[in-house]
Amino acid sequence: MEISLKKLYYLIYLFFYRIYVSFFPIKPPIHVPSILDITNDYIEVRTKNFADSFEKTMDFNTNIEKEFYDKDMYKNIIMYSSNILETTWKKRILFETTPRGNIIMYYDAYKQGFAYYSDSFNLPYKLLNAVAMKYVITFLCRDFFMDDGVTPKPSPLIKIHADEPEKPNDVKKNNMKKTLNKINTISKNFSMRTNKTNQKQPTGQSIEKPIEPVNIQNRFVYLGKIMNFKFIQTEPKFNVALNGFGSKLLDNLDSETKLQKKVMSYQDYKNLHNRKVNI
């Protein structure tokens, strides 16, 4: 009798459960992607577009001036303030919306890196790299992208600007570092042999780690928040030298400009008004 009652209760439960499910179906939980997933998707899309550009016949370096490919010409131009290279590339600005916020980026010809404004201070390097990929594709300056560990074809500017020959002082420092490393490895091996009495190790051998190749990365310069960016760029002012030449007309013009820039106080205005009345 008890078993039959349990079966009856179970059948009633199933009946009402199916009715409830038919009217109120159980929905699967909604998967909300995290900020890391959205950032990784953004980086994958930008990386794919950058890699696809190498398969196209279009020249993606038409906007790069020839001075960047000649180190001496580049140094002769970049040494002057407000030179043509810096002023030109500061006007080529990219406004990009990323999962970590908005970014304003342009290429700094003097620092040979990508300067950017962002409200987020600590942005990951891979995200900035993805924005730089879009920048070089948009403004046809793909050789400015220096990261040889990401690009399918290394930029020729790496050999011109990044790979510099070692100076004599640097060679001496490197030799000193190598000798110190050998001394440290020999002392470590000697201490290990004294501690491990049961194991025998060959004497006079130093363990040297293989030198891993260092990848050159892009340079990113953080310039502050977006509110610090000047949307209206003024042209630089140049002072014209007159070589000692002067005239009464120039003096009058100079005094007039100084008078316009001068802010008159209320007391000066009253004194000037009283003089006019007395006259």
Per-residue model confidence as pLDDT tens digits over 169-193: 554 555 555 565 655 555 555 555 5
In a domain, 99, yes or no: yes
Clarify whether residues 158 and 266 are in a common domain.
Answer: no
**Band of pLDDT at residue 92, cut at 50, 70 and 90:** very high
Clarify whether residues 156 and 252 are in a common domain.
Answer: no
Instruction: Domain of residue 264: give its range.
Output: 248-278
**Band of pLDDT at residue 166, cut at 50, 70 and 90:** very low
In a domain, 42, yes or no: yes
Calculate the dihedral angle through the C-alpha atoms of 149, 130, 91, 111, rounding to the nearest 10 degrees: -40
Q: Provide the token pair at 253.
A: 């013009």
**Band of pLDDT at residue 96, cut at 50, 70 and 90:** very high
The pLDDT value recorded for residue 221 is 95
In a domain, 185, yes or no: no
pTM (predicted TM-score): 0.62
Q: Provide the token pair at 257.
A: 């400009």
The pLDDT value recorded for residue 179 is 60
**Band of pLDDT at residue 18, cut at 50, 70 and 90:** confident
Tell me the per-residue pLDDT of 36-49, one tens digit each, with 9 for 90 and over: 999 999 999 999 99
Which of these three, 134, 162, 190, is where a domain ends?
A: 162
In a domain, 188, yes or no: no
More confidently predicted of 181 and 145: 145
The pLDDT value recorded for residue 239 is 54
The pLDDT value recorded for residue 230 is 87
Q: Give the whole-angstrom CA distance, residue 12 versus residue 32.
A: 37
Nearest alpha carbon to residue 149 among 221, 214, 54:
214
Tell me the per-residue pLDDT of 191-224, one tens digit each, with 9 for 90 and over: 555 555 555 445 555 555 555 556 789 999 999 9
Q: Give the whole-angstrom CA distance, residue 252 versus residue 257.
A: 9
Q: Give the whole-angstrom CA distance, residue 131 versus residue 218.
A: 12
Clarify whether residues 47 and 153 are in a common domain.
Answer: yes
Clarify whether residues 150 and 56 are in a common domain.
Answer: yes
Q: Give the whole-angstrom CA distance, residue 102 versus residue 117.
A: 8
The pLDDT value recorded for residue 37 is 93
In a domain, 90, yes or no: yes
Which of these three, 141, 162, 183, is where a domain ends?
A: 162
Q: How many domains does the chain have?
A: 2
**Band of pLDDT at residue 123, cut at 50, 70 and 90:** very high
The pLDDT value recorded for residue 271 is 74
Q: Give the whole-angstrom CA distance, residue 128 versus residue 218.
A: 9
Nearest alpha carbon to residue 38 among 98, 95, 122:
98
In a domain, 226, yes or no: no
Mean pLDDT across the chain? 79
Clarify whether residues 40 and 158 are in a common domain.
Answer: yes
Whether residue 133 is predicted with pLDDT greater than 60 in this model: the reply is yes
In a domain, 92, yes or no: yes
In a domain, 101, yes or no: yes
Which of these three, 162, 197, 222, is where a domain ends?
A: 162
Clarify whether residues 151 and 252 are in a common domain.
Answer: no
